[in-house]
Amino acid sequence: MVAALVAAGACGGSVTAGPGDGGGGADGGGGADAPTGVDSPAGNDAFTGIDANARDSTQAPLYDGTTGKTCASDADCTAPGYPGVARCSSTVFAPESYFATPVCILPSCSPVSGTTPHYCDGPDYPSSPGICMPYGAGGGGVCLPKCTFDKAGGPATGCQGKDVCFVDTQATSEGVGYCWGGCTQDGDCPTGQKCQVDQGLCMEGTVPPTKPFGAACTTADLNDGACYCLYGAASTGYCSSFCVVGGPNTCPTGSICDGLEYRQDGYSMSNAGLGGFCTVACTAGSEAGAACPTGTSCTDIFASGPDCIP
């Protein structure tokens, strides 16, 4: 029922982020797991270090460069003389919006690896506006707006309106992520869309979870909408829900909003505005993990912890 978007890994497995699929996760209901459109012009992924649109007057621009720009239609995402491959997210994922604030994206791109950011809608360089995130089951990706966050706990930046920044990688001087989803109520969504609150996604229709927070779950529960499953390497975990670090308190009593920022990468406190998951809080020590759901352990590896992680 949600788009299959692979995100940050944790604990040797994959903790899903946004509408996540840590390797075999949810189908993009409504046809969204195979977004239509074309990749950026052939060979663009090889450009590095400079603005590839800074060409002489006889050469056409290689990129639209509009990823992350707010939009009402595809026409807002390109201009005469540009490639015209960028699309409005509300078109790409129709009939869903997914984004609380629709923005320009590239419907397809080619991910490089799970640990190295691949920048898009421009040269593969941090100055470009997009970041390529694995999407769907076929090994492809979608170019989403890039966002950043520092190691001092400052607010995440780069996302429009109600959209939120999800962690992608922290193996750089500053944290890099992607903008996605972001709603906590129907009023956050475009006209005609409702908020699937447990996932933070704006959708044409919503499905209330049938499993409560903390219940054991598998990727199958994520696929069929039983709950937003926070799972690890074994594709098992517990039912969680979307939250915004430092935002409205949408997590149940006894849980915290975890943005999945690794302490080992220099993050000692969570960055406000990050998209995260409600995780069961726990106390590190001799009784660590005693209150954690089956198959999880009490760990302090993330800046928001200690909490129970699959």
Chunked into runs of 10 residues, the chain (310 residues) has average pLDDT values of 42 39 30 32 34 55 95 95 95 96 95 78 94 84 94 91 88 82 96 96 94 94 91 89 90 94 89 94 67 88 92
How many domains does the chain divide into? 1
Give the predicted TM-score (pTM) of the model.
0.82
What's the helix, strand, coil split of the chain in %, to 5? 5, 30, 65
Give 49's contacts (C-beta < 8 A, 6+ positions apart): 123, 125
Task: For residue 165, give the nearest of 186, 144, 185 by alpha carbon.
Answer: 144
Confidence at residue 277, expressed as pLDDT on a 0 to 100 scale? 93
pLDDT at 168: 87
Q: Is residue 263 part of a domain?
A: yes
- 295 within some domain: yes
Residue 293 located in a structural domain: yes
59 occurs within a structural domain: no
In a domain, 171, yes or no: no
Query: Which residue segment(s) compose the domain that 248 sits in?
Result: 200-309
Give the model's pLDDT for residue 108.
92
The confidence score (pLDDT) of residue 294 equals 85
Q: What is the pLDDT of residue 202?
A: 98
pLDDT, position 170 = 56
284 assigned to some structural domain:
yes
User: Residue 289 domain-assigned?
Assistant: yes
CA neighbours closer than 13 Å in the CB half-sphere of residue 9 = 12
Q: What is the CA radius of gyration of the chain?
A: 19
pLDDT of 256: 94
Beta carbons of 100 and 189 less than 8 angstroms apart: yes
Note the pLDDT of residue 290: 63
Please report whether residue 266 resides in a domain: yes
The sign of the dihedral angle between the CA atoms of 280, 154, 18, 260 is negative
Residue 226 confidence (pLDDT) = 93
